[in-house]
Amino acid sequence: MVNINISNRIGKYTTFLCAVLIITITISIIFLIAYKGLATFARDGVSLRDFLLTTKWNPDATAAEGGPFVGALPFIAGSVAVSLLALLFSVPFGIGIAIFMSEISAGWGRRIMQPVIELFVGIPSVVYGWIGLSVLVPFIRNHVGGMGFSLLAGAIVLAIMIFPTLASVSTDSFNANPADIREGSLALGVTHWQTIFMVMFPAAMPGVLTAIVLALARAFGEALAVQMVIGNAIRLPTALLSPMHTMTSIITMEMSNTVMGTVSNDVLWSIAFMLLLISFAFIVLIRTINRGRAVR
């Protein structure tokens, strides 16, 4: 009998250790990235204002030249611009598909669209980047204008990549609506579309907002696909057809060209730390939207 009880206890503690491991990993990531990221300000004496609000980027410039210049605004603005634009392109399709799967054709339509969404998720991001680079960029260069590598190209590639998140999370939200409200509305003589637009959609709103925030978080964090098509020019994103940079693409490009412990390396960690803080902000936002509802 003792043996059985011991194995019970060992089981409980082993699984608890696995959970503790997750806590340890999370804390060490936060700690290490915060430690490296804050060095820019604590050790290198860069002001937070310069980092967030100026646009001149040349962290290798010596003090004699007036440097280092570490204005990260072009990257921050670039990430915001490309993510919001991608969201703008993707939201009509994502929510449209969610309504299609839950309200219009919940039978065969759903059976077809569910695997379609899963395949969109399954395509690796470098493949999206490669298709963007070999098809979309030349298309924009030849038929729209500019060099092809542009904010527009980045936003279109991202829009396709965040579409499955938007569609599947919104669909869950529509499906979670009680059938009573739909039937109540239809019984009053309201048309199908009016029911969807005026009853089902408002009821599904928190879930749809959650989908939008999750999609935005994914857009912010995507690195390689965007980096391959966006042109990587350090400038504010002022025109749709101009090349630009994002927070993730500058980290991808420059991390291997800089030496640990220098300003030009530290400032990349600061950008990574900002990405971490932004993903916290998204988590808090999702929790606020869903306050009082069960969410994981």
Partner 1 sequence: MITPRNSDRIAVFVFYLIAFLVSALLAALIGYVLFQGLRVVNWHFLISPPSFEAGGGIGPEIFNSLMLLILTMILTVPLGLGVGIYLSEFATESGVTRIIRICIETLASLPSIVIGIFGLLLFVTILKWGFSILSGVMALTVLNLPVMSRIAEDAIRNVHRDLREASLALGATQWQTIVNVVLVAAIPGLVTGIILSSGRVFGEAAALLYTAGVTTPDLHFQNLNLFSSNSPFYLFRPAETLAVHIWKVNSEGVAPDSRQIADGASAILIIMVLLFNVASRWLGRLIYARKTGQ
Q: Contacts with partner 1 in 80-109 (CB under 8 A)?
A: 92-93, 96-97, 99-100, 104-105, 109
Question: What would the DSSP string read from start to end of 238-292?
Answer: -STTS-B--HHHHHHHHGGGS-TTSHHHHHHHHHHHHHHHHHHHHHHHHHHHTTT
CB of 276 to partner 1, least distance (A): 6
Is residue 29 a contact point for partner 1 (CB under 8 A)?
yes
In angstroms, the CA 170 to CA 91 distance is 10
In angstroms, the CA 53 to CA 239 distance is 20
Q: Which of 21, 48, 53, 144 contacts partner 1 by CB under 8 A?
A: 21
Nearer to partner 1, 111 or 238 (CB): 111
Residue 2 burial (10 A CB sphere; 0-12, 13-18, 19+): exposed
Is residue 290 a contact point for partner 1 (CB under 8 A)?
no
Q: Report CA Rg, the chain.
A: 24
Is residue 160 a contact point for partner 1 (CB under 8 A)?
yes
Q: In the window 187-226, what residues touch partner 1 (CB under 8 A)?
A: 191-194, 196-197, 217, 220-224
The binding track of 44-83 with respect to partner 1, each residue x by CB under 8 A or -, is ----------------------------------------
Q: Which stretch binds partner 1 (CB under 8 A): 67-75, 147-155, 198-206, 265-273?
A: 265-273
Look up tokens 């969201």; give the residue.
87
Q: In the window 100-159, what residues touch partner 1 (CB under 8 A)?
A: 100, 104-105, 109, 112-113, 115-116, 118-120, 122-127, 129-131, 133-135
Coil, helix or strand for 57? strand
Nearer to partner 1, 209 or 223 (CB): 223
Question: What would the DSSP string read from start to end of 179-223?
Answer: HHHHHHHHHTT--HHHHIIIIIHHHHHHHHHHHHHHHHHHHHH--
For residue 131, what are the CA distances in angstroms to 40, 87, 135?
A: 37, 20, 6
CB of 12 to partner 1, least distance (A): 5
In angstroms, the CA 164 to CA 290 distance is 21
Nearer to partner 1, 11 or 145 (CB): 11
Is residue 293 a contact point for partner 1 (CB under 8 A)?
no
Bridge partners, 57 (sequence order) = 70
Omega before residue 115 within 30° of 0, cis: no
Is residue 28 a contact point for partner 1 (CB under 8 A)?
yes
Q: Which of 16, 111, 205, 238 contacts partner 1 by CB under 8 A?
A: 16
**How many positions of this chain bind partner 1 (CB under 8 A)?**
84
CB of 208 to partner 1, least distance (A): 15
